[in-house]
Amino acid sequence: MEIEGKSTDRNLMLKFSGELDHVGAREAIREMEQAIDAALPRRLLLDFSGVTFMDSSGIALILRAQKRVRNLGGSVLICHVPQQARRVLDAAGIGRLVEIR
């Protein structure tokens, strides 16, 4: 799992590449939280375009991101979600909790 980050004016974009399973998500959550703590974003954009597989571990990552950013008074947007990951998000009803584009 690789994460590429870009931060400008309290907008943080994190692009994920690889498998967001239990192992991948554990590592990704750690890196994501470090990036959030450094940028203190008002808007966090999670770009999933490079995610080749995702299970419910990816949902834990999203919920964690949302909790953290909400505490900063910000919001989370998920974008470029591949079909397999989108089916997981839809099955879990994550679209009701976090904005997906």
Partner 1 sequence: MKNKTLNYISMEFLSRSANEGFARTALACFAAQMDPTLNELEDIKTAVSEAVTNAIVHAYPNSLGKVSLKASICEGNVLEITVKDRGRGIPDIEKARQPMFTTGGEERSGMGFTIMESFMDKLTVRSAVGRGTTVVMRRKIASRLKPQQ
Q: Is 53 in the site for partner 1 (CB under 8 A)?
A: yes
Q: Is 100 in the site for partner 1 (CB under 8 A)?
A: no
- Map residues 3-22 to x or -, x wherever contact with partner 1 holds by CB under 8 A: ----------------x-xx
C-alpha of 39 from chain center: 15
Nearest to 1 by CA among 39, 44, 53: 53
Q: Tokens for 50, please give them.
A: 């490079």
Nearest to 85 by CA among 43, 57, 45: 57
Task: Return residues touching partner 1 (CB under 8 A).
Answer: 19, 21-23, 25-26, 29, 53-57, 59-60, 63-64, 83-84, 87-88, 91-93
